[in-house]
């Protein structure tokens, strides 16, 4: 383990420096950025498995405190993996300043994951919001610009409420450190948590997530789903670990988020929105356990980055204008080989099975650890959420297989003669990612018990049956009015109303 404060300071702030230099030397710094992300991923994995813990104070005495621990390393790995996935797979389609913005975002997220004082978290989350605003607007059409400003206004409102809570807590504790929040008033804690939940996209403050995920470009969606919504998870987990009242409240809100969002995803027929509602549900599960919140969010972020990166042009969501929401392998049919589609299909199915917590996947390990650390009463509701999530991903997998079969028929009809044995960088990376998701399942054999495996297989079987039961339902009349209302009213106003409802709940 490295104990040098200088090393961790460089690790935190070097990405932003590289990002700004990349604006001047665009082509030179891009491979450097990819190499840095690989190194950061390896360092984070080592920190996870070796349980490294290190803290340092920026500017020494009286400076800002940071802690690299088991709240930091999992999310740091998820962030570096998501950024690497997006930059590598879409390297030929990136706008001029995309990777530079991504590296400034990396510094902001590193601070958010490692900071132990409320003001540093506030600054990091604000910078995260500005970077996310630019990523959402990357498509540069009217809809994405509208949604990016919605996100900016809604996020600014959430951070304003958070800052008011921080000031209220400071009046009683005379410090901004998280460990001293026990002196703060309940109202101050309510304001702080409400702001963090909005940034994390947790229901009922996460209504902005599905709309933005489904309209952003695929490379932006991969980053937003893989790491941006995880920015508020580490602070919430730290507070829940130190304060029992917050931990108890997170159980109620997490269960609500997990079930309601998963139920809405079942009836959502737009793939992008379904993945967005699934993220709201999965992050609700993450906050149930302070101990495993970050490792669960990491697993979710990795899988969502892969899922958004492998959406195909043959099955674009209806709202994506001019098929802009393509996969990393989008080319004209004559330029796409069968192997490329096989690789995308394999990683899509593997990532979906992992989110479903299917045995021998990373999701099975993290969900088993999570369920072992939550109250008994909450386990029943978590099982219900797992069943609904399984139903969602059974539909997505079946839809993806249909697209793949349709693509094969198109190739055979037009007699394309591409070499299917050719290997490409993107496909090799996707296959390695699938193998890694499966390999992670053997890192903790203690959860590979007969009962856990049977429960997971039972949930999968019931999910298939439930999907077969609801597949013919006409849900457009149910889902569309809600979607149009959110689009018309605007996310900031909805978030403001729901934050007020959260405050009333906490106060009661």
- Tens of pLDDT, residues 32-49: 999 999 999 999 999 999
> DSSP string of 91-144?
TTT--TTHHHHHHHHHHHHHHHHHB-BHHHHHHHHHHHHHHHHHHHGGG-SHHH
| Separation CA 275–CA 201 (nearest Å) | 13
Res. 334 pLDDT band, cuts 50 70 90? very low
Lowest average pLDDT, out of 36-40, 157-161, 323-327, goes to 323-327
What pLDDT is stored for residue 338 in this prediction?
61
Lowest mean pLDDT among 261-265, 267-271, 295-299, 467-471: 467-471
Q: Name the average pLDDT for the chain.
A: 82
pLDDT above 60 for 344? yes
Residue pair 416/407 in contact (Cβ under 8 Å)? The answer is no
State the pLDDT at residue 331: 45
Number of H helices, E strands in the chain: 20, 2
- What are the contacts of 480-483 at 24+ separation with CB within 8 A? 483/211, 483/273
Q: Does position 119 have pLDDT exceeding 60, yes or no?
A: yes
Q: How far apart are CA 244 and CA 264, in angstroms?
A: 30
Reduce the DSSP state of residue 21 to 3 states and report it.
helix
Give mean pLDDT, residues 319-341. Answer: 48
Q: For position 124, what pLDDT does the model report? A: 94
The predicted structure's pLDDT at residue 128? 94
Spatial CA neighbour of 316 closest among 304, 307, 324: 324
pLDDT for the residue 463: 86
pLDDT (average), residues 453-478: 79
Res 324 pLDDT > 70: no
Q: What is the DSSP string of 33-84?
A: HHHHHHHHHHHHHHHHHHT--EEEEETSTTSEEEEESTTTHHHHHHHHHHHH
Which residue is associated with the tokens 């909450």? 378
Residue 184 CA to residue 177 CA, distance in Å, equals 11
What pLDDT sits at residue 320?
40
Give the tens place of pLDDT for each residue, 379-396: 888 888 889 999 999 999
Q: Which domain holds residue 26?
A: 5-507
Q: What is the pLDDT of residues 479-494, one digit of tens each?
A: 667 666 666 555 555 5
Query: What is the average per-residue pLDDT within 229-247?
Result: 86
The DSSP secondary-structure symbol of 315 reads S
| pLDDT tens figures, 73-104 | 999 999 999 999 999 988 888 877 898 999 99
pLDDT at 315: 38
Provide the domain count of the chain: 1
Residues in CB range of 120: below 8 A, 6 or more apart: 64, 66, 111
Strand partners, 54: 68
CA 37 – CA 352 distance, rounded (Å)? 24
Residues 335, 315: Cα–Cα separation, whole Å: 17
| Window from 204-213, 220-229, 322-331, 416-425 with minimum mean pLDDT | 322-331
Token pair, residue 434, equals 């699938």
């Amino acid at each position: 383990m490295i104990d040098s404060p200088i090393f961790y300071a460089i690790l935190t702030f070097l990405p932003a420096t590289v990002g700004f230099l990349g604006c001047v030397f665009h082509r030179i710094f891009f491979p450097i950025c990819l190499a840095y992300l690989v190194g950061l991923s390896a360092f984070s994995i080592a920190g996870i498995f070796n349980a490294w813990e290190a803290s340092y104070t920026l500017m020494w005495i009286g400076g800002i405190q940071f802690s690299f621990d088991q709240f930091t390393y999992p999310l740091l790995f998820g962030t570096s993996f998501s950024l690497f996935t997006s930059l590598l797979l879409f390297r030929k389609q990136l706008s001029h300043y995309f990777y530079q913005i991504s590296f400034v975002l990396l510094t902001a997220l590193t601070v958010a994951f490692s900071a132990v004082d409320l003001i540093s978290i506030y600054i990091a989350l604000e910078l995260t919001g500005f970077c996310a605003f630019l990523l959402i607007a990357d498509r540069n059409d009217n809809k994405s610009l509208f949604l990016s400003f919605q996100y900016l206004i809604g996020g600014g409102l959430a951070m304003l409420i958070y800052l008011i809570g921080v000031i209220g807590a400071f009046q009683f504790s005379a410090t901004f450190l998280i460990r001293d929040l026990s002196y703060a008033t309940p109202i101050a804690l309510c304001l702080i948590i409400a702001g963090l939940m909005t940034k994390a996209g947790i229901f009922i403050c996460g209504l902005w997530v599905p709309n933005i995920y489904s309209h952003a470009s695929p490379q932006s969606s991969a980053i937003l789903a893989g790491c941006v919504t995880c920015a508020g998870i580490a602070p919430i987990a730290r507070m829940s670990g130190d304060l029992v009242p917050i931990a108890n409240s997170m159980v109620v809100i997490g269960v609500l988020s997990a079930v309601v969002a998963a139920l809405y995803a079942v009836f959502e027929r737009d793939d992008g929105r379904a993945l967005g509602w699934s993220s709201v549900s999965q992050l609700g599960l993450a906050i149930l356990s302070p101990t495993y919140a970050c490792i669960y969010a990491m697993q979710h972020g990795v899988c969502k980055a892969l899922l958004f990166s492998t959406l195909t042009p043959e099955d674009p969501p209806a709202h994506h204008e001019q098929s802009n929401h393509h996969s990393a392998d989008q080319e004209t049919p004559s330029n796409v080989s069968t192997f490329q589609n096989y690789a995308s299909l394999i990683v899509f199915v593997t990532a979906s099975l992992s989110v479903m917590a299917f045995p021998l996947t990373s999701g099975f390990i993290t969900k088993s650890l999570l369920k072992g650390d939550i109250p008994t009463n909450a386990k029943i509701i978590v099982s219900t959420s797992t069943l609904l999530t399984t139903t969602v991903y059974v539909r997505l997998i079946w839809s993806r297989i249909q697209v793949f079969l349709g693509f094969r028929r198109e190739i055979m009809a037009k007699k394309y003669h591409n070499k299917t044995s050719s290997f490409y960088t993107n496909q090799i990376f996707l296959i390695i990612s699938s193998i890694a998701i499966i390999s992670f399942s053997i890192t903790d054999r203690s959860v590979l018990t007969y009962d856990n495996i049977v429960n997971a297989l039972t949930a999968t079987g019931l999910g298939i049956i439930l999907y077969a039961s609801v597949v013919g339902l006409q849900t457009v009349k149910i889902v569309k009015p809600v979607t149009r209302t959110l689009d018309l009213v605007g996310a900031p106003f909805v978030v403001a109303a729901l934050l007020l409802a959260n405050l009333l709940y906490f106060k009661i």
